[in-house]
Amino acid sequence: MDIGFIGLGSMGSAMALNALKAGHTVRVWNRSREATKALAAEGAKVVDSPAEAFAGDAVFSMLADDAAVRGVLIDSGVLERAPKGLVHVNMATISVAFCEELVTLHEHHGVMYVAAPVMGRTDVAVAAKLNILAAGPDAAIDRVQPIFDVIGQKTWRVGTAPQHANVFKLAANFMLASAIETTGEAASLMTGHGIDPHAFLDVITSTLFPGPVYQGYGRMIADQRYEPALFKAHLGLKDVRLAMAAGEAVNVALPVASLVRDNLIDVLAHGDGDKDFAVLGQVAVRRAGR
């Protein structure tokens, strides 16, 4: 396929590289041109504007948040000039309300829109093992499935309304945040009683709570090791806030999310926003006076 890729942070760069390795033609754009150099060395074509990426069979975008998507794709007029019938796959975690706005704008300009946020951190993206939550017209997803197949291990089709993919992702990240919060509190409880949290987490992750979330984040919390960050705390805060907004829109209270949000604000207040999401464990330690 001939695709464009917009947004070359750690996640976007990994996905674009895997598409290149699979033999696809990839045109790349990023606000900072420095991020395009490694991909150019692998055969990517660097373009000078987002509009040039909106060509070929499809364009993928992996931008940081609502504001970045709006600035790059809407305020710049890119959608207005995009070829009719092009498929745009937005892989960013954005708000449900903004996704609904994007659906309307894409329909107005004759561009097919697929929301496809992913589950998995940077290391998972590098290994092409992402789980992709895709929602949109079946024909549009079918067209880009060859790319999904080389950047992820499974594509979960979660509906024809693109915003449903964002609801799925926000609910998943809310659960992730809650798991990290309770793991940090439990580890602090162990330490308070003079018990090595590593021993506790070895038992828990081998019995009641096996799996990558409790094992991976639990190890970081027990080690009090929050760098290098694979998922930065300030991005976690963004997602928790978006989950709360999605809940409020349909009168669904998320009281645990409120607690996690406040603790993540505490993280940022202590200058730790760029540390890994697991730094929630440090909040529990700090609250216990240690």
Q: Which residues are catalytic?
A: 169
Determine contact, residues 261/244, Cβ cutoff 8 Å: yes
CA 234 from centre of chain: 12
Please report where in the chains the tokens 């506790």 appear, as a residue: 200
Q: How many CA atoms lie within 13 A of 52 on its CB side?
A: 10
* Residues in a beta bridge with 152: 130
Concatenated DSSP letters of 140-196: HHHHHHHHHHHHEEEEEE--SSTHHHHHHHHHHHHHHHHHHHHHHHHHHHHHHTT--
| Apex 162 CA angle, 156 and 163, nearest 5 | 105
